[in-house]
Chain A
Amino acid sequence: MNYRYKVGCSIENLKGVRDFIRNTLKTHGVQDLQISEMVLALDEMCSNLMIHSHQCNPDELFELHISVQEGKPVIFEIIDDGTVFDINKFSEPDLGNLVHDKRKGGLGIRLVKTIMDKVEYQTASGKNVCRLIKQVRFN
């Protein structure tokens, strides 16, 4: 099954994004703790996109697609036309350094890479597709 959600780049909309992911995965009986982890990773990716690629402009939209099928990995696609921020090109900062520098950011990339199995990027005809893949257990 494929699901689509289209939303403006206001960080106030993150709750709606999370609810969409939760409800979709719940319908398919994905395990609760895995749902909450994927919600966390996607929240991070979407908030990064809203803030860094679209400067929180509510008139700029992006799409989130979820493809879920029993026995297969869940595939999320974030589709937009902003500047690509490829998390694979950034190394995760050391936790100790983050504490020392009193930085509030920097945890997110580590979180996404820990939770998801794979993060891939693709650009075609002006659209960026960020694909996040995770093997899950179904109840």
Chain B
Amino acid sequence: MIHIKRLQEDSADILALIGEIDASSSIELDLAIAKSVGEGATKILIDCSSLEYISSAGLGVFMSYIEEFKDKNIKMVLYGMNDKVANTFEILGLNELLDITKDKAQAKRMIQ
């Protein structure tokens, strides 16, 4: 079960992921990102501080936006991951392909 809270700070959309993302809930992550993009967001911060688990289905959602975001010049930064979630991204080397940082302050600096 995942709950996604969306808020806006400065000029950035912040999506806070609360709970677990697996094959049954990755669609909600996909819809939330698509909604932000659809409404014109060009700076998207993903707050992972309450993300307890992410499976490959969830990783795949982030992967699927990399190319589109490059084309549209949309910046996305993930922050606040716990060790286990961070390790999940690292196993596949996704930490090299996505912008991931420690906390919100740093994430904001990265999208300026």
Contacts and interface: CB of A to CB of B under 8 A. Distances in A.
Contact of A36 (B1, B65, B68, B84): B84
Interface residues of A, number: 31
Contacts, number: 80
Interface string A94-112: 0100111011111110110
Contacts of B53: 18, 39
- Tell me the interface secondary structure of chain B in the complex: helix
Contact of B56 (A50, A100, A102, A107): A107
B23 A14 contact: yes
Contacts of B22: 11, 14-15, 18, 43, 47
Given A11-B24, A33-B84, A33-B87, A108 B63 contact: no
A119 interface: no
Interface of B: 1, 20, 22-24, 26, 30, 53, 55-57, 59-61, 63-68, 83-84, 87-88, 91-94, 97
Contacts of A32: 84
Contacts of A108: 56-57
Nearest to B53: A18
18 contacts: A11-B22, A12-B24, A14-B55, A36-B84, A36-B88, A39-B53, A40-B91, A44-B56, A95-B94, A102-B65, A103-B63, A104-B60, A104-B61, A104-B63, A105-B60, A106-B60, A107-B60, A111-B92
A47 B87 contact: no
Contacts of B88: 36, 40
